[in-house]
């Protein structure tokens, strides 16, 4: 990979774009739920980012990702790594993005639909790795 992913993150304001995506996630509950906002996987964020800001994947020279893509580096893996690092560095809980894991135990497949209607199957399911989840931190926490 010839692009500096950290510089690209800053130059294209990827973090602000991701916060926008996370803020736009609808909460289906009719009243605010005690569990808070829904989480998105890195794949869900990658799909929305690629739909709204295709220049990010284009400049990275990657696809959204998924099983069968044939590369270890994808938009989903890039976002997962960058967002995980932001969450890890957030010692005082003030960063606008928070993270969690979905256990991979008993999960054999997660399939997403991209903006073009194509299926994207997570390459992380069926592995010993848990699945990273991210959401917009709630203002009252």
Residue 13 scores a pLDDT above 80: yes
CB 33 within 8 A of CB 27: yes
pLDDT digits (tens, 9 = 90+) for 16-71: 999 999 999 887 766 677 788 899 999 999 999 999 999 999 998 888 886 655 55
pTM check: above 0.85: yes
Cα(97)–Cα(138) distance, rounded to whole angstroms? 9
Q: How many C-beta atoms surround the C-beta of residue 119 within 10 A?
A: 10
Domain ranges of the chain: 5-26+35-136
Alpha-carbon distance of 2 to 125, in angstroms, equals 28
The 10s digit of each residue's pLDDT in 81-136 is 999 999 999 988 889 999 999 998 888 889 999 988 999 888 888 788 889 999 99
SS3 content of the chain, % helix, strand, coil (to 5): 35, 15, 50
Q: Give the integer Cα–Cα distance in Å for 7 and 13.
A: 10
């Amino acid at each position: 990979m010839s692009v500096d992913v950290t510089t690209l993150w800053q130059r294209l304001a990827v973090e602000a774009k991701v916060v926008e995506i996370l803020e736009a996630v609808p909460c289906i509950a009719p009243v605010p739920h005690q569990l808070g906002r829904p989480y998105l996987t890195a794949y869900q964020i990658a799909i929305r980012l690629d739909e709204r800001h295709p220049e990010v994947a284009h400049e990275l020279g990657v696809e959204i990702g998924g099983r069968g893509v044939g590369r270890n580096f994808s938009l989903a893996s890039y976002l997962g790594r960058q967002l995980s690092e932001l969450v890890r560095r957030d010692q005082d809980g003030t960063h606008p993005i928070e993270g969690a894991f979905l256990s991979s135990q008993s999960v054999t497949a997660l399939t997403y639909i991209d903006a073009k209607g194509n299926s994207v199957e997570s390459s992380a399911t069926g592995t010993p790795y848990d699945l990273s989840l991210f959401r917009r931190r709630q203002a009252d926490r």
